[in-house]
Amino acid sequence: MKKIYIINILVILVGIFLLFSASKDMSTYGTFDAASASGKRMKVAGELVKDKEMKYNPEVDANAFSFYMSDADGHDAKVLLNKPKPQDFERSEQVVVTGSMREGIFVADELLMKCPSKYKDEEINLRNQG
């Protein structure tokens, strides 16, 4: 048998093995309930609750920002992020946080947010004019 075939088989085997092991790095977005139950680190996606308090007071802690978020089940929970408040956070629609539940608060160290595009803003602006 040619060496190249052996190599190809080897590559395919390693590939399959890696595919299985890589799938362990992947998960669906969790919910606050699931995070409470498991106590494990997970990613929760949801929406920012805009009428509840958003708190960032650097004089108390420059590395703590808290807000309320509503997950896929519609459950609200307080989120404590170990970073300053991101710019334009109030405007965000979708929020994804990574962390775990501690004493009823979701303690996160990563946050991704999706803001509405400026084009949408402008379109609304134009529609409201005239």
Residues within the interface to another protein (CB under 8 A):
2-4, 7, 11, 14-15, 18-19, 22, 25-29, 41-43, 45, 56-64, 80, 82-85, 87, 94, 96, 98, 102-103, 105, 107, 109, 112, 114, 117-119, 122-123, 126-127, 129-130
77 forms beta bridges with 69
**Shortest approach of another protein to residue 62 CB, angstroms?**
4
Token pair for 36 = 């409470």
Task: Please tell me whether residue 100 adopts helix, strand or coil conformation.
Answer: strand
Taking the complex as a whole, the smallest distance from the CB of residue 38 to another protein amounts, in Å, to 13
- Minimal distance, residue 30 CB to another protein, in Å: 10
Query: Among 119, 72, 63, 120, which residue's Cα sits nearest to residue 97?
Result: 72
- For residue 44, how far is the Cα from the chain centroid? 5
